[in-house]
């Protein structure tokens, strides 16, 4: 056996058997290999010298590392005579169990505080194995296998309680097992023996320990040939949820450090196993447990705060069922001018001057913008000259008594005068003038001087300051409750403390899609004279009063409507 020197990273031989053995160096190679690879090694022993042939059945060399807290602390090497593969596997398994016993021995002789710390660390590692897997069956199998490996056990079984009967959930190093086999029946009997007494049972019993009944453990030991047995009940809230049974090979008993570790492990496994079991129950079982727990807290002793809260909730629910309140339809709202005039470009041209822009207050007759009229004035000069020329031709034709030429010249003169009148009309409209007092809702040409505009293009929009209407965007689920003549109130985002009364004037069949909802346009003028703070484009929330209805219907209307639609969609 080779162990690590305390406080160093070097390894040195510590013990030999038999003591009289002469050459001990032939195991150095396999022990070094086990240290290097960190696993068990089996190999046939090589010849002692070159030219010496190996026998038909050469001896074997076995080595297995000793670990503490996941680190290799030593290695055990063996020379064994030739044997078949089955017996060789058995020898390797016994060597593995012996390495686990050596691990416990090393922990026993370590510093007490260090041993306690390492014991707690190992318990947490084992608990983590149970928690990191979602399936309780897989987690239990991995847990008992790890326990058997760390404690050098021949077999570890985990049993779970179900309706007062315990059954084996997992066995170490085994995926499938027969619940009705004699060995499993004896194991469950040993588990129930420990659960009935609510005490851990160790077999063979310690002379200085507590007096407990061990009939089932004695029978299990005789049946399995185990040298040491122990069972720890797993408790949660005063009730047994399972049991953990461990077996060691013949000649190996459970020492005090191992029992201390198992005592702490079982104390943590009880609640965790109960939680894992509850997570895998069906939804009806969860609901039934929740109802039983709620009823127990409600009618049981203590829990005064819970009872008071439940009473308040019941009273509030009764109030909602029987009390009535005002049902109002809420919708996003926007202020618009009741009259909104558009100022368009009278002809194709260019922007010469912009005196106002959106947001400005204007009076009737104020010039808002001017268009460039130089091309029109030049065109007028040309048309005036053309008219004068046609008039001269008309006079000459009359002097010569040429009637046909006189009629042509007269027509050309009239045509020129008509074109001049059109140019004069366009020149008169080159200045965009406010038709009434109001506010410019849209339009800003201050950054577009010299830019071309097309005839009929909307340049400005103006709305009066004394006539507004409110446009509501009502959801399609509530538009059926809105009718002409209903009263309501408007609260603007910029003035949340002021409420403006309104009356529904019309529900238009115009809808729009917004943020996944279908909204309908509802117009409602204000019933009071607007003050100077209102401006077109302001937004807020409007509420239209419908009638009196029960509070529970008002507060659950959206949910019940959604539920009805879903039920209708799911029904065949």
Nearest Cα to Cα of residue 258 among 305, 200, 310, 218: 200
Beta strand 487-492 pairing with 341-344: unpaired
pLDDT tens by residue, the chain, 572 residues: 888 866 566 787 888 887 766 566 778 888 888 888 888 888 887 644 444 455 667 888 899 998 877 788 889 999 888 888 888 888 888 888 888 788 877 766 655 666 677 778 888 888 888 888 767 888 888 889 988 888 888 899 999 988 788 988 889 888 777 777 888 889 999 999 999 988 999 988 876 667 888 899 999 988 888 888 999 999 988 889 899 999 988 878 888 878 888 988 898 888 888 888 777 666 776 677 777 777 777 777 777 888 888 889 889 888 888 888 899 999 999 888 777 778 888 878 888 888 888 878 888 888 888 888 787 788 888 888 888 888 888 888 888 888 888 888 888 888 888 888 888 887 777 788 888 877 787 788 877 787 888 888 888 888 777 777 889 999 888 888 899 999 999 999 988 888 999 999 988 887 888 888 889 999 898 888 877 778 778 899 999 999 998 888 888 888 888 898 888 888 87
Longest Cα separation, the chain: 163
**Strand intervals (E) in 377-535:** 431-433, 438-442, 452-453, 458-463, 468-475, 487-492, 495-503, 506-514, 517-525
User: Taking the CA of residue 430 as centre, how many other CA atoms within 13 Å lie in the half-sphere pointing to its CB?
Assistant: 19
DSSP H or E segment with residue 219: helix 215-224
pTM to 2 decimals?
Answer: 0.42
Read off the tokens for 244.
């953990």
Residues in the chain: 572
Nearest Cα to Cα of residue 174 among 165, 161, 187: 187
DSSP H or E segment with residue 414: helix 403-428
Q: Do 460 and 362 form a contact (C-beta atoms < 8 A)?
A: no
The single-letter DSSP state of residue 25 is G
Q: Do 375 and 349 form a contact (C-beta atoms < 8 A)?
A: yes
> In angstroms, rounded to a whole number, what is the distance separating the alpha carbons of residues 555 and 36?
72
The single-letter DSSP state of residue 16 is -
- Whether omega for the bond prior to residue 204 falls within 30 degrees of 0, making it cis, is yes
Q: What strands lie across the sheet with 361-362, from one edge to the other?
A: 341-344, 458-463, 438-442, 361-362
Beta strand 60-68 pairing with 452-453: unpaired
Rounded to the nearest angstrom, the gap between the alpha carbon of residue 31 and the centroid of all alpha carbons in its chain is 52
- Whether omega for the bond prior to residue 254 falls within 30 degrees of 0, making it cis, is no
SS3 363: coil
């Amino acid at each position: 056996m080779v162990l690590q020197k305390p406080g160093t990273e070097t390894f040195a031989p510590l013990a030999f058997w038999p003591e009289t053995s002469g050459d001990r160096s032939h195991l150095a190679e396999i022990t070094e290999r086990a240290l290097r690879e960190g696993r068990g090694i089996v190999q046939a022993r090589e010849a002692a010298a070159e030219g010496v042939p190996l026998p038909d059945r050469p001896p074997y060399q076995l080595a297995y590392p000793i670990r503490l807290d996941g680190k290799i602390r030593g290695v055990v090497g063996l020379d064994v005579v030739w044997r078949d593969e089955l017996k060789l596997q058995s020898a390797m398994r016994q060597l593995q169990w012996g390495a686990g016993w050596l691990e416990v021995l090393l922990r026993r002789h370590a510093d007490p505080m260090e041993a306690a710390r390492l014991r707690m660390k190992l318990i947490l590692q084992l608990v983590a194995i149970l928690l990191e897997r979602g399936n309780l069956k897989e987690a239990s199998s991995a847990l008992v296998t790890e326990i058997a490996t760390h404690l050098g056990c021949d077999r570890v079984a985990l049993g779970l309680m179900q309706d007062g009967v315990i059954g084996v959930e997992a066995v170490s190093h085994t995926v499938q097992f027969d619940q009705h086999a004699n060995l499993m029946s004896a194991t469950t009997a040993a588990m129930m023996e420990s659960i009935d007494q609510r005490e851990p049972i160790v077999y063979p019993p310690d002379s200085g320990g507590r007096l407990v009944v061990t009939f089932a453990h004695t029978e299990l030991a005789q049946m399995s040939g185990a040298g040491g047995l122990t069972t720890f009940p797993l408790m949660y809230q005063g009730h047994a949820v399972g049991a953990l049974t461990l077996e060691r090979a013949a000649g190996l008993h459970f020492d005090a450090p191992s029992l201390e570790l198992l005592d702490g492990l079982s104390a943590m496994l009880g609640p965790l196993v109960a939680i894992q079991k509850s997570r895998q129950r069906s939804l009806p079982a969860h609901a039934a447990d929740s109802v039983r727990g709620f009823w127990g807290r409600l009618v049981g002793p203590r829990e005064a705060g819970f009872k008071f809260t439940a009473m308040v909730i019941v009273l509030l629910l009764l109030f909602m069922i029987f009390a009535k309140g005002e049902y109002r339809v809420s919708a996003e709202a926007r202020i618009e001018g009741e009259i909104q005039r558009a100022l368009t470009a009278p002809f194709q041209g260019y922007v010469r001057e912009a005196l106002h822009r959106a947001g400005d207050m204007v009076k009737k007759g104020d010039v808002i913008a001017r268009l460039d009229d130089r091309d029109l004035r030049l065109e007028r000069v040309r048309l005036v000259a053309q008219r004068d020329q046609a008039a001269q031709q008309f006079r000459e034709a009359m002097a010569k008594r040429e009637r046909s030429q006189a009629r042509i010249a007269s027509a050309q003169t009239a045509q020129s005068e008509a074109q001049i009148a059109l140019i004069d009309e366009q020149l008169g409209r080159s200045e965009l003038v406010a038709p009434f007092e109001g506010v410019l809702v849209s339009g800003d040409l201050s950054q577009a001087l010299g830019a071309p505009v097309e005839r009929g293009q909307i340049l400005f929009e103006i709305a009066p300051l004394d006539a507004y209407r409110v446009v509501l965007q009502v959801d399609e689920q509530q538009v059926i409750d809105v009718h002409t003549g209903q009263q309501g109130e408007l609260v603007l985002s910029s003035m949340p403390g002021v409420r403006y009364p309104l009356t529904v004037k019309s529900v238009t069949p115009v809808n729009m899609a917004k943020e996944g909802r279908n909204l309908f346009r509802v117009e409602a003028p204000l019933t009071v004279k607007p003050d100077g703070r209102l401006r077109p484009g302001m937004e807020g929330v409007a509420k239209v009063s419908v009638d009196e209805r029960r509070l529970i219907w008002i507060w659950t209307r959206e949910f019940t409507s959604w539920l009805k639609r879903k039920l209708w969609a799911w029904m065949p």
